A and B are shown apart, each in its own frame.
Chain A
Amino acid sequence: MAAELAIARLDLRQISLVALYDALDGADRQRHGHEHRVAEAAALGALRVAARDDRSPAEVARAFFGLYYVFPNLGLVGPFYDGDVGALKEVTWLSAYDAIRSGVSVRAEFHARLWEDVCDDDRRARAAGLYVRDRSLDSVPPSASRLAVERHRRRIDALLTGSECVPALLAQWAIESHPRRLDELASAEVRHKHGLLEQRHMAVLLGMRPNTLAQSLRRLRARLGEEMRVLWDIERTGGLGPTGDPDDDR
């Protein structure tokens, strides 16, 4: 068994303590010293059954966060983080550091930080641009007039800007664009401990039920596609005047 999988048998707080205890200042080390010693012992016990590994328990715990928190969310990295894997890794470690001090689950801390970044206006605008291009919402038929194209883009922009669930849509798309996100997350050790930002977590951060968010996202996606179809239908048939004469001028 790989060391990262073996250490996943600890609970998330223990993994956080093992991984980030070195980053704590003196007062925090004193406060969480006993807890850390227990976690360290548990980590050593778990690593005994793992394949031989020269790394310390702290390094293995940090590798755990890299493999099961950073890697599954790599889809988010491109659009929102300018492709910087290191930034996401630091966000993960920062979440573990905060989780030790606050007592909140490291996963909740991590998702809250991710959501904070996803909702950032600049990052969101960049991701929305990539989303529009990726979903072919920006493509236009060659026969479309300039006015029709402008109107279409205006409507798409208004829809993407005006919908409160857009961050969720963008995050969902970003995750989906990374197809191996679920690799190795289904094993018993990490099934309930991985950090993939799923739709139900987004729903909680949005303050709504997961079903409502799923429904809203489905409708928003359908609406975007429908907008495009209806628009081209209108443009195709609406180019003629009421009498069918293109030169009909009232």
Chain B
Amino acid sequence: MTARDHTAAVGRAGVEGPPGAVRARLAGDTDLDGVLAARLRDESCRTRRRVEDRLAAAGYLGGEGTACPTGQGADDDLPDAVDGLDARRDLGAVVDEHVDLLERIDALHERRLRSPSARERHASTRVLAEALHRIVEGYEVEVPRARGPVAVAERVDQWVGRALVRTAGALGRPRGALHWWARYGRWTRLGLGLVTAVLLASGAPEAAAVVVTVRSVAATVLFSPDLPDGRPGRVLGYDPAWAACVCTHLGDAAVVAGVGLGLHLGGHSAWGAGAAFVALFSLVATVLRVASGHHGFRLGRLWTDRVVVTGALTAAPAGLAMSGAGRPGVVGPVPLTVAAVAAVAVVGVGEIVRTVYWGFRRRRLFRHGPADSADAVPHVVVARSGDALVMNISRRRWPRARVLDQVPDPGPGSGEDGGRLRLVGHGEPP
């Protein structure tokens, strides 16, 4: 831009009038009346603290509010360079890292949508989901550790999960059946649960026991964490994990409600009402746990819950079948069924207690976190809802945790030209 464009430049910047007039006004408008002086004094009092912080950070102001000696020359005005601070804040690297992160996220989106390999699409989705979760939550996802009996229960639950996964892997399950169950298992669970409820309500507990046993065995043996989704489903925003969650818990509630009807038909109306209440209660408890995800919790379903509920749902219709008319039954008519329903109720109570417990733990974390470290609170969060790209620009000190987990470069002789992304977490239904 040349000097001839000067007027245009000033006009664009919004300054009133041509520069000559502005200059003349600045030279002539020098009145300082009492009102303006009072306003200056007030403004100084109001904003002095922030300006002093700036001056102190730049080295113009001493630690006790005293001015650092400054000379008359411009060079003398500048304090000595702050090497340590500068080394920590390599802004070029920060910019590069932002761009690098954006490019990686774009690449992951690209792979998630367009890769010909279903496995790669799935892996990209998982990495992306974890990365976005970390961005939303802040670069450091601080997970409060459980203590005491809760920690013991967590360890037991993880042990049960590992044992179940090992057992399922050792069974030599047919790949076709696994694939079919991964695609249609959630609907099958819901369907068999509803069929069980109908059979129990129509007075056929034996058939119901068979159906629910088939349901439980199939769900246990053919369990797979991989949940493939089709392209039309993706377009519509269909989430297979969410569908699996809804189908499973609705099916379970239907079975319990059917048991309640069966008890009512068997003449135990009070117990039947209790079972119906438990069906509703377990649904509410599950909804409470799942809805906590909106507040940033990731409370997946416990393995012990799965085991207990699967066992209880299998046992309850069996108990009803054994207590049929004219049969003595090894177990009394009510105790086995009621115990099974009570186990489902206990699981529901456990879910509520678990959600509330982690809520309190996080509140405690939020209360104590900012006191422990001054920069624990993110500075600003920029959210883009278009494709769920969320940036959290925080004021944390360097270095901060990386959003994408990357396995280090294996070395020049390995044949790979760089690090690779590490998968985090499992795609289990909640």
Instruction: Give me the interface of A with B, judged by CB distance under 8 Å.
Output: 4, 11-12, 20, 22-23, 25, 55, 58-60, 62-63, 66-67, 70-71, 74-75, 77-79, 82-83, 85, 89-90, 93-94, 97-98, 101-105, 107-109, 112-113, 115-116, 121, 134, 150-151, 154-155, 157-159, 161-165, 174, 177-180, 191-193, 200-201, 204-205, 207-209, 212-213, 215-216, 219-220, 223, 227, 250
B22-54 vs A, Cβ < 8 Å mask (1 yes, 0 no): 110111111010001101110110011011101
The 4 closest A-B pairs by CB, nearest first: A78-B13, A83-B14, A66-B26, A103-B67
Distance in Å from the Cβ of A98 to the closest Cβ of chain B? Answer: 6
Q: Which residues of B contact A101 (CB under 8 A)?
A: 44
Q: How far is the CA of A179 from the CA of B66 in the complex (A)?
A: 37
Q: Which residues of A contact B167 (CB under 8 A)?
A: none
Contact of B26 among A70, A157, A158, A213 (CB under 8 A): A70
B119 within 8 A of A: no
Q: Which residues of A contact B386 (CB under 8 A)?
A: 150, 154
Number of A-B contacts (CB under 8 A): 215
Task: Assess the B391–A162 pair: CB atoms within 8 A.
Answer: yes
Distance in Å from the Cβ of A157 to the closest Cβ of chain B? Answer: 7
Task: Assess the B393–A192 pair: CB atoms within 8 A.
Answer: no
Q: How far is the CA of A193 from the CA of B90 in the complex (A)?
A: 31
Q: Which residues of A contact B52 (CB under 8 A)?
A: 102
Nearest opposing residue in chain A for B50, CB measure: A116
Task: Assess the A179–B54 pair: CB atoms within 8 A.
Answer: no
Task: Assess the A204–B72 pair: CB atoms within 8 A.
Answer: no
Distance in Å from the Cβ of A216 to the closest Cβ of chain B? Answer: 4
Distance in Å from the Cβ of A71 to the closest Cβ of chain B? Answer: 6
Q: A85-B22, A204-B79, A208-B82 are in contact. Are A164 and B72 (CB under 8 A)?
A: no
Q: Which residues of A contact B90 (CB under 8 A)?
A: 212
Q: A74-B22, A154-B389, A180-B3 are in contact. Are A200 and B30 (CB under 8 A)?
A: no
Per DSSP, chain A at the interface is: helix
Segment of B56-64, B293-301, B314-322, B361-369 in the binding face = B56-64
Per DSSP, chain B at the interface is: helix
Q: A71-B22, A85-B15, A116-B47 are in contact. Are A164 and B91 (CB under 8 A)?
A: yes
Q: How many residues of B contact A (CB 8 A)?
A: 76
Task: Assess the A85–B26 pair: CB atoms within 8 A.
Answer: yes
Q: Which residues of B contact A59 (CB under 8 A)?
A: 30
Distance in Å from the Cβ of B403 to the closest Cβ of chain A? Answer: 12
Task: Assess the B79–A158 pair: CB atoms within 8 A.
Answer: no
B6 within 8 A of A: yes
Task: Assess the B2–A216 pair: CB atoms within 8 A.
Answer: no
Within 8 A of A (CB), among B57-90: 57-61, 65-68, 70, 72-74, 77-79, 81-82, 85-86, 89-90
20 contacts between A and B (CB under 8 A): A23-B36, A63-B27, A74-B13, A82-B14, A85-B22, A94-B40, A104-B67, A105-B70, A108-B60, A108-B77, A109-B51, A158-B98, A162-B98, A162-B393, A164-B91, A177-B12, A200-B78, A204-B78, A215-B92, A216-B92
Q: Which residues of A contact B89 (CB under 8 A)?
A: 164, 207-208
